[in-house]
Amino acid sequence: MTRYADFHRRSITDREAFWAEQAALVDWHRPFDQVCDYSRPPMARWFAGGRLNLCHNAVDRHLAARADQNALIWVSTETGQERVYSFRELHAEVQRMAAILLGLGVRQGDRVLIYMPMIPEAAFAMLACARLGAIHSVVFGGFASGSLANRIDDAAPRVIVSADAGSRGGKVIPYKPLLDEAIRLATHKPSRVLMVDRGLAPAPAVAGRDEDYATQRAAHLDEAVPCVWVEATHPSYTLYTSGTTGKPKGVQRDTGGYAVALAASMKHIYQGNAGETYFSTSDIGWVVGHSYIVYGPLIAGMATLMYEGLPVRPDPGIWWQLVEKYKVTVMFTAPTAVRVLKKHDASYLHAHDLSSLRALFLAGEPLDEPTAQWIAGAIGKPVIDNYWQTETGWPILSIANGVEAAPSKFGSPGMAMYGYDVKLLDENTGAELTGANQKGVIAIEGPLPPGCMQTVWRDDARFVNTYWKTVPGRLIYSTFDWGVRDEDGYYYILGRTDDVINVAGHRLGTREIEEAIARHDAVAEAAVVGVADAVKGQVAVAFVVLKDPKHVGAASAAELEADIMKTVDQHLGSLARPARVRFVTALPKTRSGKLLRRAIQAVCERRDPGDLTTMEDPAALQQIRDHLSDA
């Protein structure tokens, strides 16, 4: 086995040879001329001159060896449906979808906006776009009309693929009225709309514009649509970031670098093998859904399990029942989902045979130690955190057990992954911090490795100006996250750079304080923000969700507040002690489950909370407003 440190070093110092080797994990129609063209930094052109197709790599190339093995397993606990597609069947469905899109005028380079619930047709549409060289732009299903309209205008799609409705917790969410309104609001008008009718909600067709998927599918049942061999640098898709810190950014991804990066990550990080089943609980509307529901597992020849529903419905054992039934070997979820499960009894997990499962991966937000410990104990398998961004498409920090087995450390998403030349920079001077245990901004020296964003869609200047900083003679990409690295090279994320609190001249990460609060037995979850204070500059204010809401009644809120402050004193010191602890039943989050600290902070400072289009539950922010008027 290779030592990981050598593997990583080689990926940086012998970049060309390293990635040329990884490139052998995918099929090329035409070999590339150059591994990395970095002649116009920070723009990197990976595998320039090569031609390939993402859909071919995800589907067609597996037909020879595994046509009858599972490729896509779909389970909906919302509608009580379950469907399994072999690679042969998936191939047929994707060709049908591609034939439909072709018929609607979609050609290479055209955009197709996909506004869909978690149904197989959404994956067919993504793969069909890839097949045609069309650029998909998936918008999380259920986004309000305004957000959708903005994305329609940005992507300017020729066609939109959608469905009558999604469903969440048994409640039908009609999409068609949202879509019709969004198209009305948008300046750009798509010429055609392809509608999948699930029979959940009325979806009257607009004559001359809307087409019915079932009718179209029947008309294209046996059509063969060949893969379009595109340049490695041809954009495969655009996707927005979650909008946690402000206006979402339209990330543009290439084709060749992405295929190689995903194939390599499946081998070195996730250790998924062809013929096995991968279960990511994310949504196709997020980057995890793109990389690890659709493309990554399929490129690796694995079956991917796509799940529509909640983790606790019909009961909190549902995911583990699916792990047992489909012999899932690799699972991927988010800390927020684990926290939901944690509110229930672990016996729901123990009722199922999880012996097939090798590891559970988590990403998307900080994984606090109590949550990590709880899930690791409950499943009895390694729990591996991984840190990345929509921008990067695959992990920046994790553990590459496929290269060399390494222990996970609770609270740390792991070490720099191969290809990423990760640096810690002093926030003020931009100087590199080389010692252990120094706090700084997590940054990546250019070029970004394969699979990362090429640019901001149609806005190179925004890409350069937003992310890249010149540090004497070099260009460095900022993640806008704050972190620290220990002696063993493990990083700890301390929060976003704009979430750093400055209390009487001491810099504290919100995440550190939240972690300390979460150690209190009564606490399920906490959000900490820095609020302007006349004396101290800023003070930390905490909003806490209790495991048992009745708890506040038992102990008085004041007693519990004092007790939580004491916990923070013990773990971090009194400097980090929040000035106020307030109890709420829910925290404001994005639809992808990330804490909207900037919105909480704005409300606390009586400012306008800004762009809230990606917020899940407005009532949660209202609770915070109510606390202020009480105070």
Which residues contact Mg ion by CB under 5 A? 241
Please tell me what DSSP assigns to residue 293.
I
DSSP string, 105-118: T--TT-EEEEEE-S
**Judged by CB under 6 A, does residue 385 bind ligand ATP?**
yes
Cβ–Cβ contacts within 10 Å for residue 477, how many? Answer: 26
**Judged by CB under 6 A, does residue 289 bind ligand ATP?**
no
Which partner in Mg ion, ligand ATP, none is near 248 (CB below 5 to 8 A by kind)? ligand ATP
Instruction: Report, in Å, the least distance between residue 421 CB and ligand ATP.
Output: 17
Site map (CB under 6 A) of ligand ATP, residues 452-491, x = contact: ---------------------------x-x----------
Three-state DSSP state, 455: strand
> What is the spatial distance between Cα 349 and Cα 311, in angstroms, rounded to a whole number?
12
Instruction: Report, in Å, the least distance between residue 184 CB and Mg ion.
Output: 30
**Judged by CB under 6 A, does residue 408 bind ligand ATP?**
no
Instruction: Report, in Å, the least distance between residue 478 CB and Mg ion.
Output: 10
Segment contacting ligand ATP (CB under 6 A): 141-149, 245-253, 431-439, 444-452?
Answer: 245-253
Q: Residue 612: which of 228, 146, 92 has the closest Cα? A: 146
Cβ–Cβ contacts within 10 Å for residue 140, how many? Answer: 24
Give the residue with the Cβ less far from Mg ion, 250 or 402: 250
In this structure, what token pair is assigned to residue 304? 């991917």
Site map (CB under 6 A) of ligand ATP, residues 495-514, x = contact: -x------------------
233 and 455 Cβ atoms separated by less than 8 Å: no
**Judged by CB under 6 A, does residue 439 bind ligand ATP?**
no
281 and 310 Cβ atoms separated by less than 8 Å: no
In the beta sheet, which residues pair with residue 146?
A: none
Q: Considering just the CA atoms, what is the radius of gyration of the chain in Å? A: 24
**Judged by CB under 6 A, does residue 248 bind ligand ATP?**
yes
Give the residue with the Cβ less far from ligand ATP, 133 or 296: 296
Segment contacting ligand ATP (CB under 6 A): 89-97, 103-111, 244-252, 253-261?
Answer: 244-252
In this structure, what token pair is assigned to residue 31? 């070999």
Which partner in Mg ion, ligand ATP, none is near 46 (CB below 5 to 8 A by kind)? none
In this structure, what token pair is assigned to residue 629? 């008027």
**Judged by CB under 6 A, does residue 245 bind ligand ATP?**
yes
Instruction: Report, in Å, the least distance between residue 289 CB and ligand ATP.
Output: 11
**Judged by CB under 6 A, does residue 364 bind ligand ATP?**
yes
Instruction: Report, in Å, the least distance between residue 42 CB and ligand ATP.
Output: 18
Q: What count of residues does the chain have? A: 631
Per rule CB under 6 A, count of chain residues that contact ligand ATP: 26
Options 493, 494, 501, 615; binder of ligand ATP; rule CB under 6 A: 493
143 and 161 Cβ atoms separated by less than 8 Å: no
Q: Residue 392: which of 338, 446, 438 has the closest Cα? A: 446
In the beta sheet, which residues pair with residue 309?
A: none
Segment contacting ligand ATP (CB under 6 A): 177-185, 362-370, 375-383, 400-408?
Answer: 362-370
In this structure, what token pair is assigned to residue 134? 């069309």
Which partner in Mg ion, ligand ATP, none is near 514 (CB below 5 to 8 A by kind)? none
Segment contacting ligand ATP (CB under 6 A): 321-329, 345-353, 360-368, 399-407?
Answer: 360-368
> What is the spatial distance between Cα 308 and Cα 122, in angstroms, rounded to a whole number?
12
Window 591-620: residues binding ligand ATP (CB under 6 A): 592, 594
Segment contacting ligand ATP (CB under 6 A): 25-33, 99-107, 320-328, 358-366?
Answer: 358-366
Q: Kindly tell me the sign of the dihedral angle through the C-alpha atoms of 345, 347, 351, 357.
A: positive
Options 269, 357, 363, 424; binder of ligand ATP; rule CB under 6 A: 363
Give the residue with the Cβ less far from Mg ion, 307 or 480: 480
Which partner in Mg ion, ligand ATP, none is near 401 (CB below 5 to 8 A by kind)? none
Please tell me what DSSP assigns to residue 297.
H
Site map (CB under 6 A) of ligand ATP, residues 191-220, x = contact: ------------------------------
Give the residue with the Cβ less far from ligand ATP, 42 or 366: 366
**Judged by CB under 6 A, does residue 413 bind ligand ATP?**
yes
Give the residue with the Cβ less far from Mg ion, 241 or 401: 241
> Nearest 5°: phi and psi at 209?
-120, -45
Options 256, 366, 450, 593; binder of ligand ATP; rule CB under 6 A: 366
257 and 450 Cβ atoms separated by less than 8 Å: yes
Give the residue with the Cβ less far from ligand ATP, 243 or 402: 243
CB-based contacts of 481, cutoff 8 Å, min separation 6: 387, 441, 442, 493, 494, 495, 496, 497
Instruction: Report, in Å, the least distance between residue 495 CB and Mg ion.
Output: 12
Q: Residue 512: which of 560, 561, 578 has the closest Cα? A: 578
Options 243, 257, 289, 297; binder of ligand ATP; rule CB under 6 A: 243
Which partner in Mg ion, ligand ATP, none is near 387 (CB below 5 to 8 A by kind)? ligand ATP
Cβ–Cβ contacts within 10 Å for residue 381, how many? Answer: 15
Segment contacting ligand ATP (CB under 6 A): 101-109, 181-189, 373-381, 382-390?
Answer: 382-390
Options 70, 95, 242, 601; binder of ligand ATP; rule CB under 6 A: 242
525 and 342 Cβ atoms separated by less than 8 Å: no
Instruction: Report, in Å, the least distance between residue 241 CB and Mg ion.
Output: 5
| Amino acid sitting at position 152 | I
Instruction: Report, in Å, the least distance between residue 551 CB and ligand ATP.
Output: 27
Paired sense of beta strands 500-503 and 491-496, if any: unpaired
**Judged by CB under 6 A, does residue 588 bind ligand ATP?**
no
**Judged by CB under 6 A, does residue 241 bind ligand ATP?**
yes
At residue 113's C-alpha, the angle toward residues 108 and 114, to 5°, is 120
**Judged by CB under 6 A, does residue 390 bind ligand ATP?**
yes
> What is the spatial distance between Cα 459 and Cα 516, in angstroms, rounded to a whole number?
41
At residue 461's C-alpha, the angle toward residues 456 and 462, to 5°, is 50
In this structure, what token pair is assigned to residue 106? 């979609």
The helices-and-strands tally (H runs, E runs) of the chain is 22, 33
**Judged by CB under 6 A, does residue 412 bind ligand ATP?**
no
Tokens 């919105």 appear where? 599
Which partner in ligand ATP, Mg ion, none is near 364 (CB below 5 to 8 A by kind)? ligand ATP
Q: Kindly tell me the sign of the dihedral angle through the C-alpha atoms of 607, 612, 615, 617.
A: positive
DSSP string, 23-60: HTTS--SB--S-SEEEEETTEEEETTT-EE-HHHHHTG
Cβ–Cβ contacts within 10 Å for residue 576, how many? Answer: 21
Footprint of ligand ATP on this chain (CB under 6 A)?
A: 241-246, 248-249, 363-367, 385-390, 413, 479, 481, 493, 496, 592, 594
